[in-house]
């Protein structure tokens, strides 16, 4: 007897989207670690590293945002949870942006604001990445 099975199949995040998302997290985390090193040693080079790492994280997050926006805007890709993911990613980007401005302050003037924003940004990026990987990105039926 023939049985027809309708399977709901969720495809994982696009590979490039995945790289951008996890890359942004890694860069923000690295910036946080550099901030900690600067706070502990007062060695200015760590704050320079942090500044560029944040710009890198912002670049990756910006490109990931484009992916998320496409997923959000195209009806057949819109799945439950995608809006939450998008909002969280946008929040991560905004914190990263203000953190970049904070890091543009000279010498110790970036502290403690820069360190706090790096912690918040890294936590948000981790949460976003987890949510991004967990949310099915589009759903289709396979016969």
Partner 1 sequence: MKPLNLFTTFTVSVLLVACAEEPGELQVGANPTLPAPSRGLLPTMKIPQPVGWEDRMPTVPDGYTITAIATDLKIPRQTLILPNGDILVAEGRGGNAPALKPKDVIAAYIKGKGTTSVESGNRITLLRDADGDGEYEFRSVFAADLNAPYGLAFIDNRIYVANQDALVWFDYEEGQTEASGAPQTLTELPSEINHHWTKAMTASADGRHLYVGIGSNSNITERGMTAEADRAVVWQVDVETGAHRTYASGLRNPTALAIQPGSGQLWAVVNERDEIGPDLVPDYLTRVQDGAFYGWPYAFWGPNADDRVRPQKPEKVVATIAPDYALGSHVAALGVDFSNEAMGQAFADGVFVGMHGSWNRAHPVGYKVVFVPFTNGAPAGPPIDVVTGFLDAENNTTRGRPVGVTVDPRGALIVADDLSNAIWRIVPDAAG
Tell me how far apart the alpha carbons of residues 81 and 135 are, in angstroms, rounded to a whole number: 6
Q: How far is the CB of 58 from partner 1 (least distance, A)?
A: 10
Q: How far is the CB of 51 from partner 1 (least distance, A)?
A: 4
Q: Nearer to partner 1 by C-beta: 69 or 104?
A: 104
Question: How far from each other are the two terminal CA atoms of the chain, in whole angstroms?
Answer: 17
Q: Nearer to partner 1 by C-beta: 12 or 44?
A: 44
CA-based diameter of the chain, in Å? Answer: 76
Q: Nearer to partner 1 by C-beta: 13 or 68?
A: 68
Binding site for partner 1 (CB under 8 A): 42-45, 47-48, 51-52, 55, 91, 94-95, 98, 100-109, 117, 120, 124
State the residue for tokens 């945002």.
65
Tell me how far apart the alpha carbons of residues 89 and 44 are, in angstroms, rounded to a whole number: 30
């Amino acid at each position: 007897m023939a049985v027809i099975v309708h399977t709901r199949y969720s495809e994982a995040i696009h590979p490039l989207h995945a790289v951008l998302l996890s890359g942004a997290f890694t860069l923000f985390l690295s910036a946080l670690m550099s901030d900690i090193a600067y706070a502990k040693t007062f060695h200015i080079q760590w704050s320079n590293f942090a500044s560029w790492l944040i710009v890198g994280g912002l670049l990756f997050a910006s490109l990931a945002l484009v992916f998320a926006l496409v997923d959000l805007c195209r009806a057949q890709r819109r799945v439950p949870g995608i809006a939450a993911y998008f909002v969280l990613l946008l929040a991560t980007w905004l914190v990263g942006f203000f953190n970049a401005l904070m890091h543009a302050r000279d010498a110790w003037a970036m502290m403690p604001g820069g360190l706090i924003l790096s912690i918040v940004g890294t936590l948000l990026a981790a949460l976003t990445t987890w949510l991004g990987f967990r949310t099915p990105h589009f759903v289709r039926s396979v016969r």
